[in-house]
Amino acid sequence: MEPADQFCPKCGARQETAPQPPSRTSPRSAGLDPHTASILCYIPFVGWIAALVVLASHRFRENRTLRFHAFQGLYLFVAWLIVDWVFGPMSWFMRGVFPMVGLMRAAIIATWIFMMVKAGRDEVFSLPIIGELAERSLSER
């Protein structure tokens, strides 16, 4: 008998526990993998979109690790906005601050890449201030 047979070829009796053949679902119907979603939350400049999708999704409501990555990626993007929108215009008035703004931008981009690598390895790494905010956001419901 073959493993996928439901009936005996000799007597015609039904198999009690015939294994079901693996179902093939298209990538569209399978949905987003939590591992992939955690990486997408840290994509520079657009990861906030994936983070909002994860946080709004009922499917990931109980996945604490993925929601942590989503909150941390979202807060990292907010840090980028603060540097870009607050400190960037200030650098026009104070020329000595300009190199610091460039260094802050580079540090945030490097942090995004670092967090993408950590999320790709399924490691949870809590950033100093942003990670604490993400933990607090997880505990609030």
d(CA 75, CA 55): 13
Taking residue 116's Cβ as centre, other Cβ atoms within 10 Å add up to 20
- Whether residue 16 lies inside any domain: the answer is no
Residues 13, 17, 23: CA angle, nearest 5 degrees: 115
What digits encode the pLDDT tens for the residues 11-58? 878 877 644 555 544 444 357 899 999 999 999 999 999 999 999 999
**Residue 47 is part of which domain span?**
34-139
DSSP 18: P
- Whether residue 65 lies inside any domain: the answer is yes
- Whether residue 92 lies inside any domain: the answer is yes
Q: Does residue 78 carry a pLDDT above 50?
A: yes
- Whether residue 64 lies inside any domain: the answer is yes
- Whether residue 91 lies inside any domain: the answer is yes
End-to-end CA distance of the chain: 54
CB within 8 A of 107, min separation 6: which ones? none
Q: Please tell me the total count of domains within the chain.
A: 1
- Packing angle of the helix pair 98-120, 64-82 (nearest 10 deg): 170
Lowest mean pLDDT among 16-25, 67-76, 126-135: 16-25
- Whether residue 51 lies inside any domain: the answer is yes
Task: Supply the pLDDT for residue 29.
Answer: 38
- Whether residue 20 lies inside any domain: the answer is no
